[in-house]
Chain A
Amino acid sequence: MIRLSIPARQALSKLTLPVLVVAAFGLMLLGKADTVIAERARMALNDALGPIYAVLAEPLGAVNASIAEAGNLMHLRSENARLRQENEYLRRWQTIALALDAENARLKGSLNWIPDPPANFVTARVVADAGGVYARAALLAVGPNHTVRKGQIALDERGLIGRVTEVGARTARVLLITDLNSRIPVTMETSRARAILVGTNGARPRLLYWPEGVQPREGERIVTSAEANAFPANLLIGTVHFSQSGVPEVEPFALLQRLEIVRIFDYGMGGVTAPEAPQKSTPGRH
């Protein structure tokens, strides 16, 4: 160790804090100038921590499930009555749906309809919240030899949750539809009008840019639109709900607060993907 005089040491130790504060501003500039560095560092860190969290996820999931189970036992009777009622209601809908499905198949058959290609999917466990205070995202453990790519589409059993934005060696990050940076082309189901679903970091993303003469209706279902070739058409997203200030928002079907298992679909969409590292930029519109 270099031996310094006591005053020199004291002066040095007084200087460390201001120098590091300046370095923090430098780090901000660096983060602004080169976003790839932070992304790489994060994915490396996630790859290292992902397996640990994946191991932890199972016992923690079991604990959460048993707590939920205890809660369920309390409401068993009322829940049972509600489910009976709902089952009856859904049975009526099932007959209607089956009849419509058969009719749809007949009509498609007579039109020589080109069927949509079936999509491959992989299922992955959500191992951590990859959002933080200012973003909404989920971290998935996808295993070492995965086929997950940027731009693939993530759904839970109820509806769309988002798109894969970063892929590491063992983990993938899915940007949720509620994130501030999320923009999704959507169709309103009854009017078939196009709009854009814009995330706000809140629980409900907003509906923006619908055409003149069309008004989103309360309770109307919102599905994805195939415009820009980023999503396949007609994936369920949620229902329109007007906020207190009269802004149309979408209540997602997916349980974005409690994601556990997520399916990642490969629809072969290459329309809009986030820009990759500079040396292998993806062709296409940005």
Chain B
Amino acid sequence: MAGAWRYPGIRPRATFGRRLDRAARAGFPATCTVLTMLITQAPFGIPGQSVLLPSVTLASVWFWSLFRPSSMPPPTVFGIGVLMELLGYLPLGVGVLTLLLAHGIAVRWRRFLGQQGFAVTWLVFMPVAAGAALLSWVLVAALTLRLLPPGLSVFQGVLSGVLYPVLAIPLAWLHRAFAEADAD
């Protein structure tokens, strides 16, 4: 398993059950993100529901990149980005790029952010969400060669910021429940 090489020493034999358990723990962040994404697409009939998908995806990727980067590696972020583009009818590549950049920022700053409280992670996330909304707006405009009305993109940036605590509090609880020794 990934990570095992880092800790030499005696450990219990990797039985099937133990391996399954490890795989479930390792795959939990990605599965959780994908399920949340699919739920946002369910027919709730809320006006402006389409904005939920990019906001929720960004918040989820940010959270797991910050607290469990070994379970949210760049290839997983790439896959989640492609799924977001397909579900959200974004031009290909736009969602992938914004998510990868957000992931990069989270991983780079996690030493600092990990020591701070929840409020600081949230405060740092807000400009990241605004930047992601702006970047995807610019990219879509450049790819479609059209000036798009900025209303929904602004809404997307604001919604990501507002939704983060709503998403992060249950995720933090799940994170503790599914705790795994994470060395990075």
CB distance from A139 to the nearest CB of B (A): 9
Binds A, one of B17-25, B92-100, B115-123, B162-170: B92-100
Number of interface residues of A (CB under 8 A): 47
CB distance from A55 to the nearest CB of B (A): 10
B44 within 8 Å of A by Cβ? yes
The answer to whether A60 and B50 have CB atoms under 8 Å apart is no
CB distance from A48 to the nearest CB of B (A): 11
**Inside 8 A of A24's CB, which chain B residues have their CB?**
78, 81, 93, 96-97, 100
A123 within 8 Å of B by Cβ? no
B131-184: which residues lie under 8 A (CB-CB) from chain A? 136, 139-140, 143-144, 146, 148-149, 151-153, 156
**Inside 8 A of A132's CB, which chain B residues have their CB?**
50, 53, 87-90
**Inside 8 A of A38's CB, which chain B residues have their CB?**
85-86, 91-92
**Inside 8 A of B75's CB, which chain A residues have their CB?**
16, 20
**Inside 8 A of A74's CB, which chain B residues have their CB?**
none
**Inside 8 A of B9's CB, which chain A residues have their CB?**
none
What separation, in Å, do the CA atoms of A129 and B57 have in the docked complex? 17
The answer to whether A61 and B45 have CB atoms under 8 Å apart is yes
Q: Is the interface of A mostly helix, strand, loop or mixed?
A: helix
Number of interface residues of B (CB under 8 A): 49
What separation, in Å, do the CA atoms of A127 and B50 have in the docked complex? 13
CB distance from A73 to the nearest CB of B (A): 19
**Inside 8 A of B87's CB, which chain A residues have their CB?**
45, 132
**Inside 8 A of A41's CB, which chain B residues have their CB?**
86
What separation, in Å, do the CA atoms of A27 and B93 have in the docked complex? 5
**Inside 8 A of B107's CB, which chain A residues have their CB?**
17
Please list the 7 inter-chain residue pairs (A to B) with the smallest Cβ-Cβ separation, ordered nearest first. Answer: A31-B92, A28-B93, A27-B93, A132-B88, A132-B89, A24-B97, A24-B96
Could you tell me which A residues sit within 8 Å of B by CB distance?
3, 6, 13, 16-17, 20-21, 23-32, 37-38, 41-42, 45, 49, 53, 56-57, 60-61, 64, 126-135, 137, 180, 200-202, 257-258, 260
Beyond A3-B5, A21-B100, A45-B86: 18 further Cβ-contacts under 8 Å? Answer: A17-B107, A20-B74, A20-B96, A20-B100, A21-B101, A23-B78, A25-B93, A27-B96, A31-B91, A42-B89, A53-B41, A61-B45, A64-B45, A132-B53, A133-B54, A134-B148, A135-B89, A180-B148
